Amino acid sequence: MLVSVLRSSVVSLPLWTPQVPSRMSSSVHPLAALCQLCVTADKQANLCTARGLLEEAKRRGALVAFLPEAFDYIGSSREETLALSETLTGDTVTQYAEMARKLDIWLSLGGFHERGPEWEAQRRIYNCHIIMNNQGEIVSTYRKCHLFDVELPNKGISLKESAFAIPGPSLVAPVQTPIGKLGLGVCYDLRFPEFSLALQKSGAEILTFPSAFTPATGAAHWEPLLRARAIENQCYVLAAAQVGWHHDGRSSYGHALAVDPWGTVTADCGGERAGLALVEVDLEKIHSVRLNMPLGKHRRDSAFYARLETLCQTSQD
């Protein structure tokens, strides 16, 4: 979720990378780079950190790089969050477009604070997931439709994304990229299995859930949810993440994760610092898993499952 936190200075964190060869051009399968950030309200510092990760991703042979939700900044208050927001034609997206062109890499910009319609009157934003090609062109945008409004007093969690954000109007069709067809989500969308199933039925081979999970919900649910979405949809799941302390009272769980179509975790960036992991995407593995366990053929039509709701309603009447 896009969250508001307090941060007055930027902490330089070492980059975490897995033990892989420095060049991966000999890889049989296309490579994706899964990035983990610890952003603040300093947009330029956040951009510099992201640039370092993207340059490393390109050097190692990645064709597509994934950045987390709120990759642009995390504000100290509702007011600052809104004040720092931009349009899709603003400086932040323009600078990432320049990077995409210079590095010749596709980007998943996982959660951009986009100014909403009638901005001057309403002062509300979208949590916008942007897919940008290697020419710096925006080829798809998805605006998060499930907003994180949750009160868990026993876990110390009280967040209301709807206080400053507008829910997106709809899902968007999966988009073709050099590593496969991406189905776009953001963070809290992960908790709704019907969301992922709709994307898979529309052709998604890879589900993406850029996130900023809290430590409490992350420790309890992050990996199980990601693995469940991979297993039940027989897709790759790639989830870039925020990590670390943003101020004394707010931190993010981290553990940017990649899961294959069998539910195996193939990359985990850990829960301590910024960094990246490289992931091979083998589309043949999707075909093999779906062929050997044909869930799509075994699934009944939507009317079959809806019948139970009708029966329950009838019995109550």
Q: Which of 128, 145, 187, 235 is catalytic?
A: 187
What pLDDT does 251 receive? 85
Asked whether residue 312 carries a pLDDT value surpassing 60, the answer given is yes
DSSP track, 219-277? IIIIHHHHHHHHHHHT-EEEE-EEEEEEETTEEEE---EEE-TTS-EEEE--SSS-EEE
Closest CA to 46 of 88, 81, 11, 83: 11
Joined tokens for residue 299 = 């699934």
Q: Which of 56, 69, 86, 280 is catalytic?
A: 69
DSSP state of 278: E
What pLDDT does 150 receive? 82
Cα distances (angstroms) measured from residue 156 to each of 213, 215, 285: 13, 10, 41
> How far is residue 219's CA from residue 207's CA, in Å, rounded to a whole number?
21
Asked whether residue 184 carries a pLDDT value surpassing 60, the answer given is yes
Find the length of the chain: 317
Counting residues of the chain whose pLDDT is more than 90, the rounded percentage is: 79
Environment class of 169 (CB within 10 Å of its CB; exposed 0-12, middle 13-18, buried 19+)? exposed
Can 98 be counted among the known catalytic residues?
no
Can 69 be counted among the known catalytic residues?
yes
pLDDT digits (tens, 9 = 90+) for 248-276: 667 899 999 999 999 999 999 999 999 99
Q: Which of 128, 144, 145, 205 is catalytic?
A: 144
Joined tokens for residue 217 = 């919900």
pLDDT digits (tens, 9 = 90+) for 275-310: 999 999 999 999 999 999 999 999 999 899 988 887
Mean pLDDT is lowest, of 45-59, 152-166, 227-241, for 152-166
pLDDT digits (tens, 9 = 90+) for 35-48: 999 999 999 999 99
Look up residue 61 and give its amino acid: G
Asked whether residue 13 carries a pLDDT value surpassing 90, the answer given is no
Q: Which residues have CB under 8 Å from 62's CB, separation 6+?
A: 24, 31, 32, 33, 105, 278
DSSP track, 185-227? --GGGGG-HHHHHHHHHTT-SEEE--B---HHHIIIIIHHHHH
DSSP 3-state of 131: strand
Closest CA to 62 of 107, 93, 97: 107
- The dotted CATH code for 31-284 is 3.60.110.10
Q: Where are the chain's structural domains?
A: 31-284
**Taking residues 193-214, what's their average pLDDT?**
97
Unique residue bearing structure tokens 């390109």: 58
Sign of CA dihedral 12, 16, 21, 26: negative
Paired strand residues for 267: 258
DSSP 3-state of 117: coil
pLDDT digits (tens, 9 = 90+) for 131-147: 999 999 999 999 999 99
The pTM for the full model equals: 0.90
DSSP 3-state of 183: strand
Can 187 be counted among the known catalytic residues?
yes
Joined tokens for residue 57 = 């991703």
What pLDDT does 317 receive? 62
